[in-house]
Chains A and B, each alone.
Chain A
Amino acid sequence: MLYSDKVMDHFEHPRNVGEIENADGVGQVGNPKCGDIMKMYLKIDGDVITDVKFKTFGCGSAIATSSMATEMIKGKTIGEAMNLTNAAVAEALDGLPAYKMHCSVLAEEAIKAALADYYQKKGEPVPDSLRLPCEEGEHCCASCG
């Protein structure tokens, strides 16, 4: 099998699928050309992420990493979510094939984009650590060039 049991579990039974109405932060990354788009919705109370939902267009690992990433930040502080790395998401899934690692990058970036949106909505400056490598506008997933 291409994927670990954990990836398959999160792919077949994804957690936190859906949308949040009046979300405090929404972020979308990816590009239809690359075949992967992730959209993350955050509900934030004070400093805590009280709810998170996602929608993903993409392959098995894209759906599984979205699901795992939402589990890893739910109930956590903004600071903790900001520090979530793609390597940590991939590790929590017991690894991904090398050419699927860009999917875990997308999950990290979707969270960062949603947090950046949260700061923008509040009219506060966006912390530098939330800036995406590909800058604003339509995001390009790193591996798709």
Chain B
Amino acid sequence: MPEKFIYVDHAATTAVTNTALTAMLPHFTQAYGNPSSLYRFAQEGKTHLEQARAQVAACLNAKPEEIYFTSGGTEADNWALRGVAELMALKGKKTGHIITSAIEHHAVLHTAQYLEKQGYEVTYLPVDGDGLVDPAAVEAAIRPDTILISIMAANNEIGTVEPIAEIGAIAKAHKVLFHTDAVQAVGHIPVDVEAWNVDLLSLSGHKFGGPKGIGALYMKKPLRLPALIQGGGQEKGRRSGTENVPGAVGMAAALKEAVDKLPQEAARLSALRDKLMAGLTALPYARSTGHPDKRLPGTASFVFEGVEGEALLLHLDAKGICASSGSACSSASLDPSHVLLAIGLPHAIAHGSLRLSLGPDNTEEEVDYILKEVPAVVAYLREMSPVWDQETQKPTWEL
């Protein structure tokens, strides 16, 4: 391992905070009772679970009874889409229309595709070059049989923050249910389910300092989706499975901490992010992806022409920098990320993507190190690239 260890992949996951860990620990070995049991010993867990629910609700301007704990963001997204479809089916609408965007996380996209196979029609709205969904396009896509609009609050790859309040107002005016996948937003930007007019919102604990394996779905009263997971009837019969008390307690503690610190931390991270963006876009044929200022405080994302993302990541790893890429070769798929293609990048350029997502442990010194190492790796890879002209410092391809 190199001497340095710089973790700039916080959008993938982040460390559990000390506050969250301390809150969780007693629930593993001391207050481990099953909250559904009757004896007093188990009631302590139940009490803490309900406190956690209230804490999470408070951070979203929701009511405690509107929060349902899940195993994470993916389950919450699945539940929102499949639950709405099932709810409508129970009301006699066996098919219907769903509006979503081309840049959603696969937890939403693949669930939408699954519903398409069940006979639902899905509109995948395009985004502009900055990754923004146009609220007017959402409104124009609404049909009499539209059962749900699902638009993410902030994109995981390029960091663009979507106009959720505007879309929420449109959904409300047209009386269409509105879900937002807020996995990247919660704990990082202010989230207010009332101001946003959302009926359903997904969140995930491990994106803001909570543990993995816990998330939540917010359901606005009186909306009640049928259960996705059947069993012992926990979570008022809507989400069975013995309650993950340590997870819920840890997630709630982390979320409260993140929301309490949000204004200062967002300002600190934005300054570091802007320094990264200014420094790396100064390279030739390099640009940032996502919206220039409507973006998550910690997420900087780039494409570098003439280099391939996986090669870039492996060299950065050798220098102690943990980052990620939407390049095809960083995953088992051969296509570059659907998000980068949706913002209009040609395949060849999308292959050269890099995401640096900052978190609580990152310092200005680390940003300076990244600003020294990334250009060096990009230059090295370009030098060995047959599609880069060293003399003119330009790519030789015509796309």
Interface residues of A (CB under 8 A from B): 8, 11-12, 14, 17-18, 28, 32-39, 55-63, 99-100, 102, 143-144
Contact = CB atoms under 8 A, between A and B. Distances in A.
Main secondary structure of the interface of B (DSSP, over half): loop
Interface stretch (B190-198, B238-246, B384-392): B384-392
A105 B309 CA distance: 20
A62 B385 contact: no
B399 A32 contact: yes
B311 A58 contact: yes
A18 B380 CA distance: 12
B307 interface: yes
B340 to A, nearest CB: 12
B329 A56 contact: no
Given A32-B348, A35-B327, A59 B399 contact: no
B348 A35 contact: yes
B327 A57 contact: no
A28 B314 contact: no
A33 B348 contact: yes
B392 to A, nearest CB: 16
Given A32-B347, A33-B347, A35-B327, A59 B334 contact: no
Contacts, number: 78
Interface residues of B, number: 27
22 contacts: A11-B311, A12-B318, A32-B346, A32-B347, A32-B387, A35-B336, A55-B384, A56-B386, A57-B306, A57-B385, A57-B388, A58-B308, A58-B311, A58-B329, A59-B329, A59-B330, A62-B311, A62-B329, A99-B332, A99-B334, A102-B334, A143-B334
A61 B313 CA distance: 13
Contacts of B307: 57
Contacts of B334: 34-35, 99, 102, 143-144
Nearest to B314: A60
B384 A35 contact: no
A144 B351 CA distance: 14
B328 A35 contact: yes
Interface core residue of A39, A55, A143 (most chain B CB under 10 Å): A55
Interface string B343-383: 00011100100000000000000000000000000000000
B114 interface: no
A59 B330 CA distance: 8
